[in-house]
Chains A and B, each alone.
Chain A
Amino acid sequence: MTVLGYMANGLVFSSIIVLGSIGLSLVYSIADFANFAHGDTMTIGAYTALVTFGAVGGLGGAVLGLPFGFFVALVVGIGVAAVVAVATEKLIYEPLDIDSIGLLITSIGIAFIYRALIQIGFGSDFTRFDVQQLRPIESLVPYGVRVTLHDVAIVASAVVLVVGLHVLLQYTDLGRKMRAMADNPDLARVSGIRTKRVKLWTWVIGAGLAGAGGVFLGLFNQLSPRMGFNLLLVIFAAVILGGIGSVYGAMAGGFLIGMITQLTPFFSNVVEALPIGPGWLATLLENLITIEYANAIAFVIMVVVLLVRPNGIAGEGAT
């Protein structure tokens, strides 16, 4: 594959990471804890879409290689992920009287419960959406870019959702309230913002985007009960790289981390081609920059960012 090919893959994967990281970042800043159940919320979205799509079928026509029924399934997946998250907030998180560390630990328990229920219901094997596998788009293959129409659909839908979120945050009342709350919850509250309601909306938006990310992840790879949890740390890396609490930072971080993980094979080619100083260094780099370590590289970047620039690339504001 060429650079362009890897970058195209990176773009598709980034779209999924961005969808996940926005929600995680929103919840981090407004509900004020690191939600370890976020990855499993994605899994919920994916499996809901699987069930819905199986029930409604194709519904006739198709857009970008995806039947209409799939988009219905996508919407249902988003909805169910949001409803589950709101129910969890209402039933579990809200009555708790503990600090953000306690909430963090609780969210791990929630993550396990989500995953266990899905595994009991669907088994632990890999499954796929029942859509036809497409061949790469012919006209792009000469450039070394092997993307299918499904990949285009993923990127396009992600762009629509992200633009929608941008409009919501910048131009609506709810968006302003959310930004105010992320900035300073106490100040928001004394200014008369109903913070509880805003928090619920945050869960709806964050979990909904996660659900969409999960559906696309299932379409991009496969579905398995561990899919969300496996991606969780990558999403955390993206959120931290972008700056915790900053939605736009999360978008940038998600984009970068997605690109970096997918470009790892390209980097390994580069390292092999470059004449790097002493032989042992070259061998070491060649061994470490391989596809097996794509995620590990993302995690190391995450730790380095935490150390050097804990507010992330979004700058000092961190909101």
Chain B
Amino acid sequence: MSLLDDPRATFADLTRPEGWVLGVSVAFALFLLVAMLTGALGPTYFLFLVGLAGMYALLSFGLNAQWGFTGLINFSVAAFFGIGAYGSALMTASSSPIAGGFNPLVGLVVALVVALVLALLIGIPTLRLRTDYLAIASLGLAEVVRLVVLNERWLTNGSAGVRGIPGFFQGWPVLSTFPEAMPGLRLVVIPGSPIILGTSFWQSLLNVLLVLAFAGVTFFVLRRAHQSPWGRVLRTIRSDEDLARALGKNTYSFKMQSFILGSLIMALAGVFYTHLNLYVGPGDLDPITTFYAWVAVILGGSGSNRGALFGGIVIVTIREGTRFLNDVALPIDPAPMRLLLIGVVIVAVMRYRPQGVLPPQRELIWPSAVDGRATPETPDSGVRERKGGGGDE
């Protein structure tokens, strides 16, 4: 399985879509690298894009934990993302109409707590509903959240948004001064067009490391959760809720757990966005954010975390690529182009590959079971003994 042990076997093991995705990704990365070396793409902007891709991947992970694992149609992604963003922005920003000026870590905790409360508020009434009703109800409640954020000026500063947000590492021992402390570098790859790496570059680098940390931890937590008995119950609910209930599972409780898990991850994406963008406005709660996350998840393959990662990158390519196209080639307003591309991707995926580009296959099975070389390890003791016969799994 490992790339280092046996590279050739690993590549031979890839399914065709996996090979395609790998090939396209490598080609795309090379393209970006060339663009950066030739100076067409500023390194700071490149890192901003990487941060944005990480953020969408995080958002997609959150949705994946709800839709991909459990089959919950949550159309309130934007609300949780916005609550996460506003939660941390209002706690940390200098222009915050309420508290403000706290350490970003406090902002992170507050944002997650508020998102948890919102998840309960939205989840308790809606998770009992039929799937399509859940879709409509959650979209409606997300809209309610957006209207509240837009109109309660004393709390959120209304349509003006919140400015003066510090970076995430403000107030940390070494990292807060890291960008200023680093020397400005001047790289000359192609004579005549040097690349200058200044303070903003190091700032962006820190952001990228932050989102990598967030996304990495989330990825492994979700991967572990998905393969665990808990994840199996969620998958059972997704394919047949009555069956899960007949097996004695409290499906409402499991759905709620999965909903909260996903919502917290979305709020985490929002917290990161706050410190990446340094400005939060009511426009960030627009339903389009919800559908960006949806496109990423269904394109990547519902239930697949790798797919969500891939989808996140595609979304950033669509978002920023249209802007780039508008600057360079076609004088078409990027907003409708983006919308058109998103729509076409949704329809095309549902038409030609409803399972997504990278549907979860081996992801769902313990690695030792697919290796084929070794028989799956047999447990020393029975499952029941190990668990002490308890638990509601």
Contacts and interface: CB of A to CB of B under 8 A. Distances in A.
Most A CB atoms within 10 A — which of B140, B147, B298? B140
B140 A302 contact: yes
Nearest to B343: A112
A97 B140 CA distance: 28
A306 B342 contact: no
A291 B382 CA distance: 63
Contact of B340 (A33, A116, A302, A306): A116
A293 B137 contact: no
A289 B132 CA distance: 29
Interface of B: 73, 125-126, 128-133, 135-137, 139-141, 143-144, 147-148, 150-151, 291, 294, 298, 332-333, 335-340, 342-347, 350-351, 354
Contact of B128 (A102, A124, A292, A307): A307
B354 A102 contact: yes
12 contacts: A104-B132, A106-B351, A109-B347, A117-B336, A117-B340, A119-B336, A119-B339, A124-B335, A233-B140, A237-B140, A299-B141, A306-B137
Contacts, number: 124
A34 B132 CA distance: 7
Contact of B136 (A123, A225, A240): A240
Interface in A291-319: 292-293, 295-296, 299-300, 302-303, 306-307, 310
A108 B346 contact: yes
Given A102-B354, A104-B135, A303-B126, A109 B143 contact: no
Given A102-B354, A116-B339, A307-B128, 6 more contacts: A101-B73, A104-B135, A106-B346, A108-B346, A109-B342, A296-B147
A233 B340 contact: no
A34 B136 contact: yes
A34 B129 CA distance: 14
Contact of A113 (B298, B347, B350): B347
Interface residues of A, number: 43
B151 A292 contact: yes
B336 A296 contact: no
A221 interface: no
Contact of A109 (B131, B144, B333, B344): B344
B327 to A, nearest CB: 17
A226 to B, nearest CB: 10
Interface string A97-125: 11011101110111111011101100110
B336 A110 contact: no
